[in-house]
Amino acid sequence: MPRVWSSTGGRRAARQFRPQHYGLTIARVAALTYGRSVDDTGIRQFGVARAEAMAFRDARGHAITAADWARIEDRLGEAYRALKASVGR
């Protein structure tokens, strides 16, 4: 199985996985960091939304536009609001 993240090849490795799958890895890290269950809906939403934003950014590459960045910002906002709601309970 390929490594999912490394300091030099994280984006390349992350592209090998669908955001829904890679998002669960992000959710697991958040769950461990904040002492929550990976089954927590907000934690899962955070992980998947964060991975979707990453995948979208990587897919746009050098052709990324200001509108794309606004879309990424919106998705990340949703992700972090879900995380905050879960951690704040």
Which sequence spans correspond to the domains of the chain?
10-87
For residue 3, pLDDT beyond 80: no
What Rg value do the Cα atoms of the chain yield, rounded?
13
Q: How far is CA 10 from CA 4, 33, 36, in A?
A: 7, 20, 25
Q: Are 57 and 14 in contact (CB under 8 A)?
A: no
A 10 A CB-CB count for 26 gives: 24
Per DSSP, 15 falls in state T
pLDDT in tens, 23-82: 999 999 999 999 999 999 999 999 999 999 999 999 999 999 999 999 999 999 999 999
Is this structure's pTM higher than 0.85?
no
